[in-house]
Structure formats: structure tokens, C-alpha cells
Structure 1
Amino acid sequence: MTEEFLECFNPNQTTARKVCLCPFLPVHPLKVSTCLYIIQHPAEESRVLRTVPLLAACLPPDKCKILVGRRFSEDRERRCVLLGIENRYLVCYRDVFSSLAFSIFQVQLKPSISSQYVIRTQPTNTCLSTLECAAVALSIMEKNKSIQETILHPLQALCSFQLQHGAQIHHSKEHLLKNGLYDKPMPKNKRKLRRMELLVNNVKI
């Protein structure tokens, strides 16, 4: 992996030149029959510490497709499905700020693990990053638990390096609200305020 690639994960470019995530990636892309399609908000491309490039580096190019955009026409959505029709499975994820994701149709599964992506604030204690969601899904669909461990390995290294260079552990918004640690002004928008009330009361949103 090149320094240019690593700069995507390190806001401090000096640190990026000292850190290499290559040893934490699989030597060869994982052999999977499942095809992932990640629908990514354009704003997510410019964010540092994003997980999608790490996920893509773990998988063959034809098994991880990233579709960037805010709106997708019916024709484009149909093409997306047809692209994956020859694969054993087709899994779609949305990669977007949590504040922008509420307008997208969502399916929530019963949580069984907590996020290891501790250098970014998650809405709830059980929210996972895109990479973590994909790792869990692939390990189940491919019936191979080692896939999850392999994909999580570079994320764990990324978080460790960032914490060593001054980053702080970020608790979820749910944790901050429940423990009286949320220090930002409460939103005036009634819908956003309602979401925060649901977080405090441990109601799924």
C-alpha cells in the first residue's frame, strides 16, 4: 500500500508517512462468492478515517463495488442489480453520515457485537461502521468466521495508530446522552430532538 493511499486514513500527513497498514491487510484478496455494493454519499469520499477503502483493499475488485451518489434513477438501480445477478449473493450497504441516513430505507438486525471503530462518534452503542457491517455479513453468508477477523484486523490497527498519535476514544451519542456527558446544544428541530429522546430511552430508531 502506498503513502498516498494511507493519507486517506490519517488527517496528519506526517503521521501517514510513518504508518503503514499493509501488514494488517490480507496478503491476497479474500476469496468470496458474495458481491458487495456500497452506496456512498458524495460527502463521505472526502472524509478522513473512512473504512470503505480498507474494506475494498481486503476484497477482489469484482466483489466490492462502490456507487457514489445522492439519488439513483430507476434505470441505474436496475443496472446495479443486474451487475450482481451472476453472483451467489448481492449485498448492498449505504455509506453516509448518520444524520443523512434517516431518509434511506433501513433494515435493522438484532445487535450482537459492539463497534471497534472507537475514533468516530456513532449514534448508538450498537451502530457499526460500513467495514464492520460487511465483515459480519460476509462471515455469515460465506459460513467462514475467519473472514470477519481478517477484515477487522486493519480497522483495529488504524484505530490503534490514531490513538497512539493523539486521537481520543469517542463514545456513542447514546452513551453521552444517558450519562449526562453530551456537551453540545440540543437541536431545535423537533424531529432531531425526538430522535435524541429515543436514544436516551433506549428505543430503536
Structure 2
Amino acid sequence: MEAGEELLNLDFVEFPYEDSGSVGKRVCAGVCGRPVSVCLCDKMPLEPMSTSTRIVILHHPHEQRHKLSTVPVLLKCLRNCQTLIGRRLKFGSSAVLDSLYSDAVQNPSLTHRAIFLFPGSDSMPSIEVDQWRSSLVDGSMNNYVMIVFDGTWKHAKEMVSASLPFLSKFATRVCLKYDVEVDGGCIFDSELILRKEPFGGCMSTMEAVARALRVLEPAGIELENRLVHILKEMVRLQACHLNPMKPRPKLLKKKMEGKDKTQLTA
């Protein structure tokens, strides 16, 4: 908590929490709106933090009810952040993106102020966001629009592919550092990972936005630190409610046990 901030007076109410799949869980009526057992109010900013970067998140429909989604928390942390529910971006999805699309169509030489955050592919490589920022002719330019895709790795790839005909007209594909040759981490070996990641460098939407804002915003380091601090607490609380992983018995051992039983009854 920063100096000058007042302590929150938390009240709690009985409310059905849809993400958990059960009804009647006590949910915090404070800033975070999460179940009491995983309340983040003491870590959250009292007011959403302002950014010059506008963040547009395409939120896969399946993620709306996922209890480990970081998007609901991110929306409460950042003022200039909006979410769109769907599987692809197209003209008509967002007034902000429609405006960028129309401007780019009328003037193809216009410098792109929009980026979409996703690892590159052979057919469409990406540039690391800090390199993209350094390559801009007008180094003082701000008011970027950053587009992020929120879903499982499989869903996110499908969302990006379906959105490319629209996005390619006005947005540049950027990424954070990643390595497809390295296995991704999980909640048991990282304080920032909520779900198993497919390869090294993959991260939650909240962490990805935090890392990108560090590069894009004048006060990026402070924004990153605040968001990462909240995410760490979110992961810590979730880890407290997980059972230790039990090693699965080897199939060979089961087969041997089955043979022994057969011999005994013979």
C-alpha cells in the first residue's frame, strides 16, 4: 500500500460466486469482489490506475466462468482497459479498433499505433515489444492501443488466426521473450503462474499486460510492480487451496499386480 492511502473498511455479503460452480459462498463486497478466502482487497489499488495505453482484451467465452482468469482482476486495476467477449475481432467489434482500421485503409503509410500481443509464427513473425518501441521514428509518441487475447493456448491461437484479416490492416504483432524449446511452468514451481503453461515465456494475461506496460508507459516500472505484486498474491492464495500432486502409479506395476492376483487364484 502506498503512503497516503487509507485502509479499506471491508464488508462481506452472501453472494453466489459463479466461477466456483457453487452458490452461497461469501464474497467480498470491497474492491476485488472475490470470495473471502481469496480476497485481494488489501493488495488492490483503491482506484483503477491510469495509463495512456488503451488495452483491449478479447476474452474467450469459455474464460468467463474460469476461476483462475486474471482478467476480472486486471479490469479493476486499470482504468483504460476494456474487454470484448468473443472468438475473433472484426469490423464492428470495437469503435476504437474500427477507427484504427478505417484510418489505416485510407492512409496505408500511417504509423501503426496499435499492437497485438502474441508470439510469432513462421508465416507471421513477431517483434519483441521493446524493440518495436525503440524502432518508432517518433520516440515521444504514446497513446498506443494494445490488443491482448485471453484464453487457453489453443483458444488464443484460434482467436489470433481468426482475427488476422482485420488486425493485419492496422496492428503490429509484438511479443515478450519466449522459448518454445523450454517447457512451461506451473503453479507449483512459480509464484506468477496460475495454470500450466505450454512453453517458456508463456504467462497469464495479467502478467503479459504488466510486462508490456513497463515498456510502453512513462511510469511503466511502477505499473508493472503493482500488477505483479497483486498477481503474486493471487497465485499464493490459490496455491493454499490446492492439494499436493500425487504421483500416478505406473501402468507396468498395475499389470504386475494383476498377474500376481491371477496366479494366486489359479
Scaled by the length of structure 1, the TM-score of the pair is: 0.66
Matched residues in 2 for 1:18 and 1:160: separation? 12
1:136 pairs, out of 193, 211, 236, with: 211
How far did 1:47 drift?
0.9
Cα distance in 2 for partners of 1:157, 1:6 equals: 23
Matched, 1:109 2:109: no
Give 3-state SS (helix, strand or coil) of 1:23's partner: coil
1:67 to 84, 89, 112: 84
1:122 maps onto 2:207 in alignment: no
Higher helix content, 1 or 2: 1
Partner of 2:240: 164
Q: Aligned partners of 1:27, 1:21: CA distance in 2, in Å? A: 11
CA 79–30 in structure 1, closer or farther in 2 if over 3 Å, else same: closer
Cα deviation, residue 116, structure 1: 4.1
- Whole-Å separation in 1 of the counterparts to 2:16 and 2:200: 28
Equivalent pair of 2:54/2:144 in contact (CA under 8 Å): yes
What is the rounded CA distance, in whole Å, between the counterparts of 2:248 and 2:89 in structure 1? 36
Q: How does 1:126-205 map to 2 (within 5 A)?
A: 126-143=201-218, 144-166=220-242
Contact in 2 for aligned 1:21/1:158 (Cα 8 Å): yes
Unaligned segments of structure 1, at least 5 residues: 170-180, 184-205
Q: 1:80 to 1:168 in 2, by over 3 A?
A: farther
1:99 aligns to 2:116 (yes or no): no
Superposed CA RMSD: 3.6
User: 1:88 & 1:3 partners in 2: Cα distance?
Assistant: 39
- Give SS of 2:93's match: helix
Report the more deviating stretch, 33-42 or 67-76: 67-76
Q: Deviations over 1:96-115 (max 9, x none)?
A: 11112223246433349x87
**Structure richer in strand, relative to its length:** 2
Which string of whole-angstrom CA distances, capped at 9 and with x for unpartnered residues, describes residues 110-167 of structure 1?
Answer: 349x874333111112101111111011121113311101011221111111222235
Does 1:50 pair with 2:69?
yes
Kept in 2, the 8 Å contact 1:42–1:70? The answer is yes
User: Matches of 2:18 and 2:228 in 1, distance apart?
Assistant: 18
Q: Larger Rg: 1 or 2?
A: 2
Amino acid at match of 2:211: V
| C-alpha spacing 1:74/1:120, structure 2 compared with 1 (3 Å) | same
Structure 2 residue identity aligned to 1:152: V
1-structure distance, mates of 2:39, 2:56: 27
Q: What amino acid is aligned across from residue 84 of structure 2 in structure 1?
A: L
Higher RCO (C-alpha under 8 Å, 6+ residues apart): 1
Match of 2:57 in 1: 38
* AA matched with 2:56: Y
- Residue 71 (structure 1) shift: 3.4
Identity of aligned residues (%): 29
Contact 2:58 2:147 in 1 (8 A): yes
Q: Is the 8 A contact 1:37 1:90 kept in 2?
A: yes
SS at match of 2:84: strand
Q: Is residue 11–residue 48 contact of structure 1 (8 Å, CA) maintained in 2?
A: no
